Structure 1
Amino acid sequence: VEKPVTEGLSHRTRDQWEIDRSSLKFVRKLGQGQFGEVWEGLWNNTTPVAIKTLKPGTMDPKDFLAEAQIMKKLRHAKLIQLYAVCTMEEPIYIITELMRNGSLLEFLQ
């Protein structure tokens, strides 16, 4: 199994996906897990987004950002779209399209 390349999404490297965390407004918590939380939010007070956070010290930021690295390459109407990342300080955020009808798991139950 080939591991995804994570160059360009290091918590020490800035790229075109990086945004200022002050452009995000957290609205309500949607869920949480062992490694972090997912929040409904607003980007620039206009765009509804999902903000996935990594709790500091729970996992290697490189592993967390591998998800975003894969999402950067994917473009399909049936997949959640990556919008941005905040990697310059902890906690690290992955910002994606917000699914208004909740998670797939909730939908299937």
Structure 2
Amino acid sequence: RVAICCGFAPEDCEIAKLGTSIVGVEWDDETGYAIKTVDYCKSPSDAEQIIVENRTGIIPAPENGLWKAAHRKVGSDSTPYHMTQDENPLRAAMIVFLMMQDANNA
């Protein structure tokens, strides 16, 4: 879990900032503001490593304007364990990633 605070005095942010470096957030220690952030749902360069490392596929869905994302692991009926669709292909992929993480932590 990652909590991000913004605009607080740096001494008030230490607990909230824990773990944010893992997801690519960098902080200005003088102001308490994030100076580098990531947006996995809008930036292909931010999302690419997660998509590739977790072997997530993204394809156009039959429904107009939707995209499907799925992890390659499938059940005996060839249905992916983790699959979703969304208007935003990167968001769909990140939802699948979170589904996988949730399953791993269950």
Name the TM-score class by shorter chain: under 0.3
How high is the TM-score relative to the length of structure 1? 0.26
How high is the TM-score relative to the length of structure 2? 0.27
Structure with larger Rg: 2
Higher relative contact order (CA 8 A, sep 6+): 1
Greater helix share, structure number: 2
Greater strand share, structure number: 1
